[in-house]
Structure 1
Amino acid sequence: MAGIGFSLKKLSSQDNLASRSLAGGHAILISSGPWIVIMCGLALLHVLGRPILDPTELKVFSILVIYSFALSLVITSPISLEVTLRVSRILFQRQFHEVRGVYLAALFITTVLSLAGGMIVFFGLIRLPLGLGLAALICVIQVSHLWLAMAFVAAIKQYAAVTTAFALGLSCSVVFGTAAASLGYGSDGMLLGFSVGLTISFCILNFLILRTFPGPLIPLYELPSKLRSIRPTSKVFLAAGVVSALAVWIDKLIVWNSGEATAVGEGLLYAVRYDSPMFMAYLSVVPVMSILVVWLETNFFDNYRHYRDIVHSGGTLRQIEAQRASLAQDTVDTVFTAFLVQLTISAVLAVIAPFLASLLGLPYDAISVLRLALIGAAFHFLFQASCGVTLFVQYGKAYLWLQVLFLVLNAAGTALMLRNPDYLGLGYVLAAMISGILAYAAMRHTLGTLNRLTFVVNNPAVSG
């Protein structure tokens, strides 16, 4: 969403280390806030819970957090894309009073779908005990709320408050989670305590959103008719949201249902050689991704807005083409440079993988998977960065097909490589590599044909 650029630009343009660090830190939370909180909280609780909980209970807690995160991402990705399109259009039209209605409607839909999805997974498929199932259900709802809130946080531009909200929530998750476990409530108590911290983060973000966008509340008796009247802004982006979330998790689902998986309790599966290396690899791209977010929401946004201003003000074809060429060249150079930096970081981490495995307590046979995951994450970064640019200029069909490509390649590659245990993780690497290169090529093509995209594809008068 274009709204976050103003404050980030103000910070990143100041010529001092503190301001640039703050811009990067805020960008990390804007782009990956819930993911960072969940992974950090999970790691801290895992360390602090060792002397308190039985190893099996601790593993159950970790698996359910991962399951909750995966399910919430699949549920909220299409909703977040939809509300981002709606709110961007509303803010452009300066109809600020409509934002609250969109947010509350999205919040209601997210809650209902998370509740239904959680009940199907935790009680229907896995058949958890009542207490543990309810704790997992609360967790998936709270994570879903956080993902939705992040789609609106970009527009409120109160980054100190947002950062404080996540820091406070993470602290409370650790405190309440360990307290519940130490009082003898087991893994369900720790999971419930962890969810309390997520709830605190969401409540702060919810307050900021409602305060920033005041407006009339819809009476409850009118809500069903209002929801029935809502039609997706773009079915393409809605489908792309579902596919993108599935593409990220499909390899884990396949590995969890293979011989690599280990069962903990009834229905709870995890892969000790695969899960931790993959999450560590994802974590390795966050710093560079945050820098790219700052650039995307400042320099790229300014250049793209200038291009649109020239178009809307009736600029000459030469002026439009000159700005498009400048925008394309700057974007291609920035994304490729960021990829090279990330690839270097991933290569260095792959070299010291034995040390990292020892530090994290991973088994020896997970080192090869960690190395593959780190290299794959670098190309996954290229894929995400290129898709981000494509999404920014609202080329929905290209974005959808790229997500479908990664989903198919990730699923097929993972399933194929599982035939040989030594090749575990190679399917993800090949899928990320092919998808990243093709997404980069698609981004270059999109920027090269931006005039056609602007005047024809995204022009309602032409496309209908």
Structure 2
Amino acid sequence: MAGIGFSLKKLFSKKGIFSLCKAYGYSGIVTIGPMLLGIIFLCGIAMLSQSIGISDYKRHILNCSLTYSLMFAFFITSIFDMVVTRYVSDRLYEDKKDKVMPSFYGAVSLELVICLITYTPILIASVENFLQLILCLWFAMILMVVWTEMIYITALKDFSSIVISFTISLMSGFLLALIMIVLGMASMEGFLLSVTVAYGILATRMYMLMLDYFPKSSGSNYSFLRYIDRYPELLVSSFLMKVGLLGHVLIMYFGPLKVQYRGLFYGAPEYEVPALMAFASILISTINFVVSVEVNFYPKYSNYYGLFAYKGAIKDIKLAEKDMLRVLSRELAYLGSKQVFATIIFIVVGTPLVEILFPGVSSLSLAIYKLLCVGYGVYAIANSVLLIELYFDDYTGALIGSLLFSAISVGVTIWQIIFGNEQFYGMGFFAGVIIFYFYIITRLNWYSRRLPYYLLSKQNLVQTEEKGIFVSISKKLEEAQAREDLKWKSKEPILSNAGGSNSGGGANQ
């Protein structure tokens, strides 16, 4: 959603280093806050648990509990995130803010059900006791709430409150962990609880911010499901991008580098540690995409599409299109150069840093780290181009690109494990992003030359009735919700009369 761009533009218009840092800081928190928070907690809790002498076995189980919960939440929220983003964007464009919060409740409820069905069996086979199972499930569910909230947070303009929420949650988590250490109550379950509480505080505070911005709610919680039948490419491409991004790491859990800790808790430290470090290099481009592309590109984009919507002159439309594509080309070039610089820094400075943070790290891990740094750098640029494709409603191009990326990344990684040499581990992901990059760049260049054609040809001459399996599911869920609402409304007079004669006004309200 482009709502964040208007507020950031005001921040960047102010002069001074402090204002510049403030603008980048806000955009960073809004775009990569939850992921950065997760990385900080993983590293911080690992250091705390090691400092107080928790056994290696317990620390590995803790790491698996956090990592598996992060991955499950990451993949499950990816099912609906692009569809929900499109739905909420359309409701904001139509100025129907009362339709926004119901989609949040509906998306979260479905995600929680999917998490219970898929994650619970793995935990039953892996954790040591019931408390660990509950904490892992709780952590994963809160993560899904937070990541879903981030879709809606981009529409808010209260950046300072968002930053304060992240700061309070981070400090609360580490404070709780330190209190447990001081009281001699530190344990694997205690550290897992502290992380869960921290994300719980963040989820609660962001929910309150959302209610301030979207105070009214009306309509069904599941209307957004209709968008799956309208834009099926969004659902599939969103999930495939996550598969391509992290699938190669999961596959390594079951290759020659695997380590089985307990039950279905597997790891591949020689691969996942350098992958996590290399992954951090894309955070810079993620921030710069919002700042460089959205802030500068979106006004040109909005002007161009506005001329179509309000019947602008052909000459003005052509000039607006030329101006928009010129700015887009310039901003993507800036984005690419910044990512190249970031990748070089991560390789030159990050390599000795990995050796310091992880004493005894193998030469294989260092080789994987360097290769994945380049791979994630290419991914960051290609993913930004894919997001521009979504701006232009080229859902088919996004789907093909994500399919190529995930298929090659996963396929080549599996081939490497079966037939390849371990010295080339990481090449599967690298091959996937290279093909993905060249395809998506070529697609954008081809598609942008035909913008007027695709813009006009996508308009329906005759309004058609919505059909599809998810439309049917949406209708059934809407009917069930309507019956439930009617049942509660029928009880309101009884409840209000029980409270005395003055409660009538409250019931009417």
TM-score interval, smaller chain: over 0.9
CA contact (8 A) 1:3 1:155 kept: yes
- Tell me the distance in 1 between the aligned counterparts of 2:70 and 2:123: 13
In the TM superposition, 1:74-223 aligns within 5 A as 74-123=75-124, 126=126, 129-180=129-180, 183-184=184-185, 186-216=187-217
Aligned pair in 2 of structure 1 residues 33, 229: CA closer, same or farther (>3 Å)?
Answer: closer
Query: What letter corresponds to residue 213 of structure 1 in structure 2?
Result: F
1:133-190 deviation digits (Å, cap 9, x = unpaired): 2111111101111110000001112111111111211122222234446644522221
- Tell me the distance in 1 between the aligned counterparts of 2:121 and 2:326: 48
In the TM superposition, 1:24-423 aligns within 5 A as 24-52=24-52, 53-123=54-124, 126=126, 129-180=129-180, 183-184=184-185, 186-216=187-217, 227=222, 230-232=225-227, 233-361=230-358, 363-365=361-363, 366-418=365-417, 419-423=420-424
The residue number in structure 1 matching 2:6 is 6
Aligned pair in 2 of structure 1 residues 342, 451: CA closer, same or farther (>3 Å)?
Answer: same
Aligned pair in 2 of structure 1 residues 206, 271: CA closer, same or farther (>3 Å)?
Answer: same
Structure 1: state its 5+ residue gaps.
none
- Tell me the distance in 1 between the aligned counterparts of 2:179 and 2:447: 52
User: TM-score, normalized by length of structure 1?
Assistant: 0.92
CA contact (8 A) 2:83 2:235 kept: yes
Q: 1:216: how far off? A: 4.1
- Tell me the distance in 2 between the aligned counterparts of 1:229 and 1:394: 18
Aligned pair in 2 of structure 1 residues 10, 228: CA closer, same or farther (>3 Å)?
Answer: closer
CA contact (8 A) 1:181 1:189 kept: no
- Tell me the distance in 2 between the aligned counterparts of 1:255 and 1:456: 45
The residue number in structure 2 matching 1:431 is 432
- Tell me the distance in 2 between the aligned counterparts of 1:264 and 1:180: 25
Deviates more, 1:176-185 or 1:416-425: 176-185
Deviates more, 1:381-390 or 1:230-239: 230-239
Query: What letter corresponds to residue 460 of structure 1 in structure 2?
Result: N
Structure 2: state its 5+ residue gaps.
465-509
Query: What letter corresponds to residue 326 of structure 1 in structure 2?
Result: D
1:409-463 deviation digits (Å, cap 9, x = unpaired): 1112222333211111122222112212222222222322222221113x23379
- Tell me the distance in 2 between the aligned counterparts of 1:216 and 1:442: 40
1:62-99 deviation digits (Å, cap 9, x = unpaired): 22211111111111113221221111111111111221
Q: State the structure with more CA Rg.
A: 2
CA contact (8 A) 1:142 1:199 kept: yes
The residue number in structure 1 matching 2:450 is 449
Deviates more, 1:234-243 or 1:114-123: 114-123
Query: What letter corresponds to residue 241 of structure 1 in structure 2?
Result: S
SS of 1:155's partner is coil
1:285-336 deviation digits (Å, cap 9, x = unpaired): 2123212211233211111100011111212333222222221222122213
SS of 2:216's partner is coil
- Tell me the distance in 2 between the aligned counterparts of 1:131 and 1:160: 36
Query: What letter corresponds to residue 414 of structure 2 in structure 1?
Result: A
CA contact (8 A) 1:180 1:193 kept: no
Query: What letter corresponds to residue 390 of structure 1 in structure 2?
Result: E
Q: 1:115: how far off? A: 2.7
RMSD: 2.1
